[in-house]
Amino acid sequence: MGVGIRTEHLRKVYDTPPPAAARGGFGFATSPGKKDKDKPKKKFEVVALDDVSFEIRPGEVFGLLGPNGAGKSTTIGILTTRTQPTAGRAFLGEIDIWREPVKAKRLIGVVPQRPNLDFALTAREILVFHGAYFGQSAKERERKADELLEKFKLTDRAAHMVRTFSGGMMQRLSIARAMMHDPEVLFLDEPSAGLDPQTRLLLWETIRDYNRSGKTIVLTTHYMDEADSLCERLVIIDHGKIIAQGTPKQLKQSIPGGYLLRLRFNHTPEDLLGALRLLPGVTEVRSNDGAGADIYAGSGGPLIGPIVNAAQTSGIEVLDVHISEPSLETLFLHHTGRSLRD
Amino acid sequence: MNWKTFYALLSRDGHVARRNLIPMLLQNLLQPLLFTFIFGRVMTTSGIMPASYKNMLLPGIMAISMVMSGVWAVAMPLISEFQFTREIEDRLLAPIEIGWLAVQKVVTGMIQALIAGLVVLPAAWLVMGAGISLSLGHLLEMLLIAVLVALFSAAGGLALGCSIGQTQVGLMFSLVLAPMMMFGCAYYPWQALDPFPVLKYAVLVNPLVYASEGLRGALVPAVPHIDTFLVIAALAAIDFSLLYLGLKKFHSKALS
């Protein structure tokens, strides 16, 4: 049942600006290469992935979570034969993806971040030709195309050129195309970016449905709730490195205290931070830019009173309080000090 | 190598080309045919050009039409498909080695170039009117040269298409294709460059020279032309280098 994926120490360094494909906003700083006294020439170098190893089990829904530019799309690019790793290996079942890309391509379907539909064809032709590329017989691909058009509610637009389609329709057709050859592993790169909430739920249902037939699903997202409700296991990536992996539940339990209270004061002297650390249930206190503090604790609301008291004792004014329940968002914040949307 | 996929990719291009047949023919053939009408009909009938110019011009027009068709047929779709939308991605994910996708593009370009040659030859003949004497005694030679010309134009299209962006298409025409047409010995035989010794040898880097001269040697052997054996050797060498360059560029463009 299903096909799993394994990566070993993947590393990717771009020496030219990465082309437009994956690679939605790039949050990396460019660093000059080795400094050489004789050659002061600066080399463009972006480390997109650094020593990334993980395993995806056959038949599971696996998520790559991280902010823009974290390296999610580069990882998908490597697993789908589109981005060549600088070092490391990736396996699809027993197939070494970069040694036998053609074999790998037979097993995967890819829904890209931005629709890359063939603009010279109609919706139906896109599906039918896709089936033909994968060696389906004329009868089989016609049948399958009609079935998918129906499923994705595109039958009445089947004969139209796709350049006239709306974003949502293109997205649906992209998914239909990826499913056309019934791949063992379905990759979806930011599938719900830009979708309205209703279409998003429909998409989730489609993904779960496909997964129920025993197929492996790999998706990237920077929506924490999507990862939370859809994925059985996740890795969280930031700046090309894995910062945490596990089930959403395990990951959430790994946050000290679970609750996060983000506080803003008019200023935060060290003695106030010390006093906050002594409050009951508080597991960790971090100073935040000198005018705030992040408190990880076992509870949220009940701590507000004691916090305000502690602040008043030190003569400090509380300007803002924000309580977050245990979530991947707080987990990400805990590991990186930044919000997922920063 | 996966023939089913290769054939499916080829049918996709054939399907798109058939859909755009009329605009495509107009784009590739109208200009050479207008040129043929003015220089091969108007100028010769009015006596500004000698009637024998027709015979000299016809193979050149065929060469230009073939080369332009082949280059456009490969370069233009590639330029747009590799742009922001990455339309080519679904074919890069087809179960076939990436190099074969590039070869398939070249085959598409060759077919279009050969069709252009087949259409323009009788069309130009008709436009010029009486006074054409083509020799059909070198049919095999002509076919071989036509195939080599089709290959270099399609392979050149591949290399160009993978080297430039959409915003540079106009520049590609004025910096590459226009000089190539003017210095390609299509409108005059190579021998006519005798009074310009430097230019005469400089134009030898232009593949269109061998296309024009080769077709001239095959269709109107009486008109002076570069030795056919040399033409075939040069075309083969150019084909090989452009194909090598094109495949390399395609590879680096396709993978990041």
Q: Averaged over B62-89, what is the pLDDT?
A: 90
* CATH T-level fold of A5-117+165-247: Rossmann fold (3.40.50)
Q: Which residues pair with A322 in a beta bridge?
A: A262
CB proximity B93 to A under 8 Å: yes
CA-nearest of B56, B25, B26, B63 to B40 is: B56
CB proximity B15 to A under 8 Å: yes
B228 has a pLDDT exceeding 80: yes
Q: Given B16, B80, B93, which is nearest A110 (Cβ)?
A: B93
Helix (H) or strand (E) holding A329: helix A328-336
Contact list, A135 vs chain B (CB under 8 Å): 2, 4-5, 8, 95
pLDDT tens-digit series, residues B152-183: 999 999 999 999 888 888 888 889 899 999 99
The sheet carrying A87-92 orders its strands as: A46-56, A5-14, A87-92, A95-96
For residue B9, give how far its alpha carbon lies from the nearest alpha carbon of chain A (Å): 7
Dig out the tokens for A130 from the structure.
Answer: 């896709």
Between strands A185-189 and A216-221, the pairing is parallel
CB proximity B86 to A under 8 Å: yes
B211 is in which domain, residue-wise? 3-254
CA-nearest of B156, B151, B145, B155 to B210 is: B145
Does the beta-carbon distance from B92 to A101 stay under 8 Å? no
The CA-based angle B232-B233-B239, given to 5 degrees, is 85
Cα separation, A183 vs A176, in Å, equals 11
pLDDT grade for B136, boundaries at 50, 70 and 90? confident
Tell me the HSE value of B7 on the side-chain side, using a 13 A CA sphere: 7
DSSP chain B: --HHHHHHHHHHHHHHHHHTHHHHHHHHHHHHHHHIIIIIIIHHHTTSS-TTHHHHHHHHHHHHHHHHHHHHHHHHHHHHHTSTT-TTHHHHTSSS-HHHHHHHHHHHHHHHHHHHHHHHHHHHHHHH-S------TTHHHHHHHHHHHHHHHHHHHHHHHTT--GGGHHHIIIIIIHHHHHTTTSSS-GGGGTT-HHHHHHGGG-HHHHHHHHHHHHH-TTS----HHHHHHHHHHHHHHHHHHHHHHHHHHH--
Cα separation, A10 vs A88, in Å, equals 4
Cα separation, A95 vs A155, in Å, equals 37
How far CA B171 is from CA of B83, B166, B185, in Å, comes to 17, 10, 22
- Nearest residue of chain B to residue A82 (CA atoms): B255
| b/e code B139-175 from CB counts within 10 Å (16+ = b) | eebbebbbebbbbbbbbbbbbbbbbbeeeeeeebeee
Question: Around Cβ A181, how many Cβ atoms within 10 Å?
Answer: 22
* In contact, B41 and B48? CB cutoff 8 Å: no
Among residues 170-199 of chain B, which lie with CB inside 8 Å of chain A? none
Q: Where in chain A is the domain with CATH 3.30.70.100?
A: 256-325
Contact list, B16 vs chain A (CB under 8 Å): 120-121
Answer CATH for A256-325 from 3.40.50.300, 3.30.70.100, 3.40.50.720, 3.40.50.11540: 3.30.70.100
CB proximity B163 to A under 8 Å: no
Provide the pLDDT for residue A19.
52
Provide the pLDDT for residue A292.
83
Dig out the tokens for A273 from the structure.
Answer: 């931070």
**Rama region for A59: left / alpha / beta (φ>0; ψ in -120 to 50; rest):** left
* In contact, A210 and A186? CB cutoff 8 Å: yes
Question: Around Cβ A161, how many Cβ atoms within 10 Å?
Answer: 17
Sign of the alpha-carbon dihedral angle for A71, A73, A77, A83:
negative
CA-nearest of A171, A211, A215 to A191 is: A171
What's the pTM? 0.84
The torsion of the CA quartet A163, A102, A179, B7, rounded to 10 degrees, works out to: 60
Q: Where does residue A113 rank: exposed (0-12), middle (13-18), buried (19+ CB within 10 A)?
A: buried
DSSP reduced 3-state for A305: helix
A341 DSSP 8-state letter: T
Number of domains in chain B: 1
Q: Calculate the average pLDDT of chain B.
A: 91
Q: Where in chain A is the domain with CATH 3.40.50.300?
A: 5-117+165-247
DSSP A121-137: SBHHHHHHHHHHHTT--
- Nearest residue of chain A to residue B256 (CA atoms): A83
Provide the pLDDT for residue A325.
76
User: Between A and B, how many CB-CB pairs are < 8 A?
Assistant: 93
Q: Given B84, B91, B96, which is nearest A102 (Cβ)?
A: B96
Helix (H) or strand (E) holding A60: none
Provide the pLDDT for residue A269.
74
B144 has a pLDDT exceeding 90: yes
Cα separation, B150 vs B117, in Å, equals 9
ipTM of the complex as predicted = 0.90
* A contact test, residue of B84, B90, B100, B108 with most A CBs within 10 A: B90
Provide the pLDDT for residue A342.
55
Cα separation, A299 vs A257, in Å, equals 7
* B contact test, residue of A13, A111, A129 with most B CBs within 10 A: A129
Tell me the HSE value of B150 on the side-chain side, using a 13 A CA sphere: 20
pLDDT tens-digit series, residues B176-198: 899 999 999 999 999 999 999 99
* Span between the terminal Cα atoms of chain B, in Å: 23
Average pLDDT per block of 10 residues along chain A, 342 residues long = 88 75 39 48 81 94 87 92 94 94 95 89 96 95 95 93 89 93 94 81 91 94 82 91 88 76 80 82 79 82 84 83 77 73 56
Maximum mean pLDDT: which of A11-15, A259-263, B17-21, B244-248: B244-248
